[in-house]
């Protein structure tokens, strides 16, 4: 019943937005195109082929985020085909442009690229583009805007009126102070999906407190459960809370876009590092809130499965993941310690947990006699989930990465050939591609203001002179 009502509402929303014209047994190609585009996009790009283009072709994103969580989210939207306009500080740009080394050096001299009419003088970094910035900003256009300036604020409002999505990660309330909050931009575009990403969310006693990945890893439980049992809490090797928050925000935005199909209205999406981190604690969190079981660090081990951990060999570690009795028996018989399978202490997983130390010690003793290559060979095709613990060189030499083309290369006009990690998901009918390298600072300011807002060259130069924007001529 609920599904039928949802379908009826969707049909009603579509029909209310499109004049169907004469009744016909078949839908014309032109009508089908309108039917597909009109409910979806406030910015409709007329050259979108709804049957062939990427899933989000025709959707425009106004990206006022910086550092990692927001940019990761908008990069995913860009990979899906959205036009992403990255708003950057007119002098320094995204904070991560300075986060290095490593940097990718410039192949040209850009010391004179800044427009002489710029009142604000952009910072030139002779080191080049930072790897950190480059890693999460592909498929975007860079536009430099002074958000504290009245002219810059008006420019943002005009872009929002022609966009579908806004993403920002300022402290809650900051954008409203600038006249650029959800309620402000909703007045110029009620279809806008406005996503706010913050440390703690838009309400509550900590809402005005800045939040960084490392802080939330510590404060929301992840750091406490990460590390060796005998060691102190440690952070995860990448800024995983930022990344997962970017992913959660990305899926929430897509859901809000779909809801807009049914209602023809946008809404505010409120995402936070803390809420995301809490949700990813899964069984650890549920064990505490339901059974008051305090968590502990297990290193590479698993609290409720044995053997499930790293083991050292003569030539490096490997990971064993025995999730059932059959896998355990296959493991110990394949590596020549079949007596462990017959030992009453290890017959079931609960017994193996009870006798974890003696079992792990016996398995480790056997692996210590083998090289990693020998161990992998003995366990190949034996039904035992296992993997080598690879460094980066070994990871990127993995044959599956080559077979799935998980590394791409694109020519960046400022730094030359540049390798990127390909989109993690592919589509059978609308393949994803990396079409634009991460942009240089303000590379697209002039073209975006020309093409989308219809600003004249005279008006753009005046905004440069007023300190509302900065423009550049990189020669490409």
Active-site annotation, residues:
242
- Bond prior to 240 in cis (omega within 30° of 0): no
Phi, psi of 15 (to 5 degrees): -65, -35
Between CA 450 and CA 82 the distance in angstroms is 19
Is the four-CA dihedral 271, 272, 275, 281 of positive or negative sign?
Answer: positive
Pairing mode, strands 386-388 and 316-321 = antiparallel
In angstroms, how far is CA 393 from the centroid of its own chain? Answer: 24
Name the token pair of 38: 């009109």
Any long-range contacts for 293-302 (C-beta under 8 Å, 24+ apart)?
A: 295/221, 295/224, 295/225, 296/225, 296/229, 297/224, 297/225, 297/226, 297/227, 297/228, 297/229, 297/231, 297/233, 298/225, 298/229, 299/227, 299/228, 299/229, 301/229, 301/356, 301/360
51 Cα distance to chain centroid: 26
By CB neighbour count within 10 A (0-12 exposed, 13-18 middle, 19+ buried), where does 391 fall? Answer: exposed
Per-position DSSP letters for 214-273, written without gaps between them: HHHHHHTSTGGG-S-TTS-----SS-HHHHHHHHHHHHHHHHHHHHHHHHS--EEEEEEH
Long-range interactions of 230-236: CB distance < 8 A, separation 24+: 231/297, 233/297
Taking CA atoms, 401 is separated from 72, 115, 171, 180, 468, in Å, by 21, 43, 39, 43, 45
């Amino acid at each position: 019943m609920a599904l039928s009502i949802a379908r009826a509402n969707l049909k009603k929303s579509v029909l209310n937005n499109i004049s169907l014209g004469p009744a016909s047994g078949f839908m014309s190609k032109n009508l089908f195109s309108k039917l597909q585009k009109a409910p979806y996009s406030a910015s409709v790009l007329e050259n979108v082929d709804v049957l062939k283009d990427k899933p989000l072709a025709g959707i425009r994103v106004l990206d006022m985020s910086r550092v990692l969580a927001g940019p990761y989210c908008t990069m995913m939207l860009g990979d899906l085909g959205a036009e992403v306009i990255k708003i950057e500080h007119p002098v320094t740009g995204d904070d991560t442009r300075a986060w290095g080394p490593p940097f990718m050096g410039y192949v040209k001299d850009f010391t004179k690229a800044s427009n002489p009419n710029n009142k604000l003088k952009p910072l030139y970094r002779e080191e080049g583009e930072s790897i950190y910035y480059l890693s999460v900003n592909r498929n975007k256009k860079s536009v430099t805007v002074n958000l504290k300036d009245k002219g810059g604020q008006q420019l943002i409002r005009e872009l929002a009126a022609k966009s579908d999505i806004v993403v920002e990660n300022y402290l809650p309330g900051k954008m409203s102070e600038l006249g650029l909050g959800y309620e402000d931009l909703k007045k110029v575009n009620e279809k806008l999906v406005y996503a706010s990403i913050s440390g703690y969310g838009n309400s509550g006693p900590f809402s005005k407190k800045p939040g960084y990945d490392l802080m939330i890893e510590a404060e929301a439980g992840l750091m406490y459960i990460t590390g060796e049992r005998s060691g102190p809490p440690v952070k995860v090797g990448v800024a995983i809370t930022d990344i997962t928050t970017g992913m959660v925000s990305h899926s929430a935005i897509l859901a809000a876009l779909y809801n807009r199909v049914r209602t023809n209205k946008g809404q505010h999406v409120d995402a936070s590092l803390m809420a995301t981190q809490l949700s990813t604690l899964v069984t650890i969190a549920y064990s505490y809130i339901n059974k008051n079981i305090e968590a502990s660090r297990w290193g590479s081990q698993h609290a409720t499965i044995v053997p499930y951990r790293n083991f050292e060999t003569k030539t490096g570690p490997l990971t064993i993941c025995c999730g059932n009795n059959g896998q355990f028996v296959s493991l110990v018989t394949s590596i020549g310690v079949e007596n462990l399978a017959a030992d009453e202490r290890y017959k079931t997983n609960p017994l193996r947990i009870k006798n974890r130390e003696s079992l792990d010690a016996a398995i480790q003793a056997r692996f210590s006699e083998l090289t990693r290559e020998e161990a992998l060979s003995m366990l190949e095709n034996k039904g035992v989930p296992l993997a080598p613990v690879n460094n980066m060189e070994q990871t990127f030499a993995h044959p599956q990465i080559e077979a799935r083309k998980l590394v791409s290369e694109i020519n960046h006009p400022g730094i030359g050939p540049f390798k990127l990690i390909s989109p993690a998901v592919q589509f059978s009918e609308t393949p994803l591609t990396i079409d634009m390298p991460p942009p240089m600072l303000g590379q697209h300011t002039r073209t975006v203001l020309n093409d989308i807002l219809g600003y004249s060259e005279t008006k753009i130069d005046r905004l440069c002179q007023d300190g509302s924007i900065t423009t550049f001529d990189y020669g490409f």
